[in-house]
Amino acid sequence: MAQISLTFPDGNAREFDAGVTPAEVASAIATSLGKKAISATVNGTHWDLQWPITEDASIAINTMKDEEPALELIRHDLAHVMARAVQEIWPDVKVTIGPVIQNGWYYDFDREEPFTPEDLGEIEKKMKDIINRRDPVTTETWDRPRAIAHYEANNEPYKVELIDAIPGDEPLRMYWHGHWQDLCRGPHLQHTGQLPGDAFKLMSVAGAYWRGDSDRAMLQRIYGVAFRNRDGLKAHLHMLEQAALRDHRKLGREMNLFHMQEEAPGQIFWHPDGWRIYTTLQDYMRRKQYAGGYVEVNTPQVVDRKLWVESGHWDKYQEHMFIVEVDEEHAREKSINALKPMNCPCHVQVYNQGLKSYRDLPLRMAEFGSCNRYEPSGALHGIMRVRGFTQDDAHIFCTAEQIEDETAKFIELLASIYSDFGFDKFDIKLSTRPEKRVGTEESWDQVEAALENAIKKTGQAYEIDPGEGAFYGPKLDFKLTDAIGRVWQCGTFQVDPNLPERLGATYVGEDGAKHRPYMLHRATLGSFERFIGILIENSAGKLPFWLAPRQVVVASIVSDGDDLVHEVVGALKDVGVWAEADTRNEKINYKVREHSLAKVPVILAIGGREVENRTVTVRRLGQKQTTTVSLDEIVADLAIEARPPDQKQS
RNA sequence: GCUGCUGUAGCUCAGGGGUAGAGCACUCCCUUGGUAAGGGAGAGGUCCGGAGUUCGAAUCUCCGCAGCAGCACCA
């Protein structure tokens, strides 16, 4: 038999018969390694212990100590074990697919009866049972007709469909966990006993469309999470609890920021404390945009259908628009309008008033544009995904030559804004020309190059997403990462020659002829509503002082302090700090607890000693120790602290 | 929009075919207390909406509405 040479991670090589399996290699090294082995990495590919190796290769034997392959195998094998458990309990359930996902796996089933939470417990028990059986995992390669015949005989139509979708030249691999069989690419563990029976949990069951297609059957998906050991699972569950504590819907209620109700689904009733965040944010954005060379406009909410037909929205976007029909008394027919879902067509109307010269470009037109979109009910989520919202929108009208410069300017503005909120790092995605597109290859070349050069000029990291651009132009997406590692797409930048064309925007060039401007759609925060939701979750409600809806509570310890409390509140208000008096008949312990839970960043306490010395005792949120300072000093300090980041120096 | 679950006091939740429950919050009284809950009393509900079953429905059934999770959607 031919010999092959396998090279180990330490650089040593050893000869084996061609066709040797990693299981045999591991056992040849040490019997104990043969037992501990879970998989191999062969030439960088994750390799089942049973797959033969036929050529010279590099090889590493993986054990549970190797985190990445271990988690992959645990989650993947658990998906199979779960499917097996389900079919052992309910033999008529049809299996489909069950991939590994972040932190765990899911498996989709076709079953008439819905799975209940109690069922999950039962499945989990059965899974532990299967793990305890230490069933061997074995594999075989089948030819197509045999596999299809097998699944047809077993009434598993989804598997047949999956086989049809696998490219013809790929071998079909079958895996057995004990007697239970599944079509699977692998790799897998040696036996079910290698699975950590105490480090997984079935989390939830939910509907999911077969092959992600909403026109096809709705299956039942069971989600599970798994780790290498019990501590990993515990840490994950703890993390989920922490994330739930940050939920902006919960904090919004607790902090009395806003509410929503049945009569206006997907729309927000802002309470005073929430609206203060909103207006502070909007004031800040207005200053940043003004400094960035933007002009601000405001355009109508209710606009006649005619404009939406011209812009193309009536055709493509109608199902997402709120349509308003008005029966005017003397009109021959009803007037049909729509609430604007976007601002761009209105901005072109402003642009089109009067003749524009090339000297007017670039024209950066901003609007805090109040938009309404009829989002599908299932998409609504707190204040993050709503039907009524306000974008920090702007459209830059410019020439082709100006695109690169305008892109770079925008990225710089965006970076400066994000860093003011503590998001120092963000990712840029450049989406390029899709299959179906309009415009010449040259213009795509030019515009894509302009965007890429602009990003390079700013030195920001980026990646390219080929084919994901709009049909008329490429775009940039900006994603920031929050305090607990979640990624949010907020900023966007899109090159559009199409809408100026449709709505007839022109400018007079140096040559005296009319030309078509480009339109750059751009937003930094996305929508104020969603961005506030992100800020709340990012900070767990403890917003930075300048954005905190309640900045200072001045609390009396004894009623003899009440007069000074009111004096301090007045002094703070005079310098622009939001201060409230708490002279209620309660003990200081009670007041401190209540305002701390309400996430008020600064509590100033005033008792007999403070009255005597005209001082206040300062307690900061999250700190136990207090300091006593003079009234003048604290007012001056907090006045500076309350300034928005763009007004810090000066 | 689809699948499943949920809807009881301002909030968090228990209950469950026969007059509606708790804790916190709220109001009043006592208490002037030094940094995360001082004591007492009181008020508060169309049990999401509608229809049905029943002598009787908050409870069971059906139809809506809204919320939650996931999927699909986010031109």
Selection from A49, A193, A90 nearest residue A135 by Cα? A193
Q: What is the pLDDT of residue A510?
A: 96
The number of helices, as runs of H, and strands, as runs of E, in chain A is 20, 33
- The pLDDT value recorded for residue A139 is 93
Say yes or no: Cβ of A485 under 7 A from any atom of strand B. Answer: no
- What CATH topology corresponds to A552-647? Rossmann fold (3.40.50)
Give yes or no for CB of A63 within 7 Å of strand B: no
Question: What dotted CATH number matches A3-63?
Answer: 3.10.20.30
Could you give phi then psi for residue A72, rounded to 5 degrees? Answer: -60, -50
pLDDT value at residue A166: 85
Phi-psi region of A168 (alpha: psi -120 to 50; beta: other; left: phi over 0): alpha
Asked whether the CA dihedral A284, A290, A294, A295 is positive or negative, the reply is positive
Q: Does the nearest atom of strand B lie within 7 Å of A486's Cβ?
A: no
Q: What tokens does A581 get?
A: 């008096």
Q: What is the ipTM of this complex?
A: 0.95
List chain A domain ranges. Answer: 3-63, 68-233, 258-301+340-539, 552-647
Count CA atoms closer than 13 A to A423's CA, side-chain side.
28
Which residue has tokens 């797409």?
A: A489
CA closest to B70 C1', residue: A206
* The pLDDT value given to residue A6: 93
Please, which positions of strand B sit below 7 A from a protein CB?
Answer: 1-5, 7, 11-12, 30-38, 65-75
- Picking from A48, A40, A46, A26, the residue whose alpha carbon sits closest to that of residue A14 is A26
Q: Is the CB of A391 under 7 A from strand B?
A: no
Asked if A454 and A404 count as a contact pair (C-beta separation under 8 A), the reply is yes
DSSP string of A86-116, one letter each residue:
HHHH-TTPEE----EETTEEEEEEE-SSPP-
Q: What does residue A127 show for φ and ψ, rounded to 5 degrees?
A: -65, -45
Query: What single-letter amino acid sits at A481?
Result: T
For chain A (650 residues), the mean pLDDT of every run of 10, in chain order, is 89 92 94 94 94 94 95 95 94 93 94 87 93 93 90 92 84 90 91 94 92 92 95 91 92 95 94 96 97 97 95 93 86 88 97 97 97 96 97 97 97 96 93 91 95 95 93 95 91 96 96 96 97 96 96 96 96 97 94 95 97 97 94 97 88
Catalytic residues of A: 344, 373, 391, 393, 395, 475, 521
CA-based Rg of chain A, rounded to a whole angstrom?
32
Assigned fold of A258-301+340-539: BirA Bifunctional Protein; domain 2 (3.30.930)
- Strand B at less than 7 A from CB of A623: no
Cβ count within 10 A of residue A409: 18
Identify the residues numbered 216 to 275 in chain A whose C-beta atom is closer than 7 Å to any atom of strand B. Answer: 218, 220-221, 223, 249, 253, 260, 262, 265-266
Write the DSSP string, A333-380. S-EEEEE-S-SHHHHHHHHHSS--BGGG-SEEEEEEEEEE----GGG-
Burial tier of A416 (Cβ tally within 10 Å: 0-12, 13-18, 19+): middle
Nearest C-alpha neighbor of A226 from the set A100, A61, A359: A100
Tell me, in Å, how far CA of A505 is from C1' of B69?
46
The spacing between the Cα labelled CA in A589 and the C1' in B36, in angstroms, equals: 6
The CATH architecture annotation of domain A68-233 reads 2-Layer Sandwich (3.30)
Domain A3-63 matches domain A552-647 at the CATH topology level: no
Nucleotide nearest to A341 (CA to C1'): B75
Token match 């300062």: residue? A618
Using the Cα atoms of residue A510, residue A512, residue A513 and residue A515 in order, give the sign of their dihedral. Answer: positive
Contact A368, A335 (CB under 8 A): no
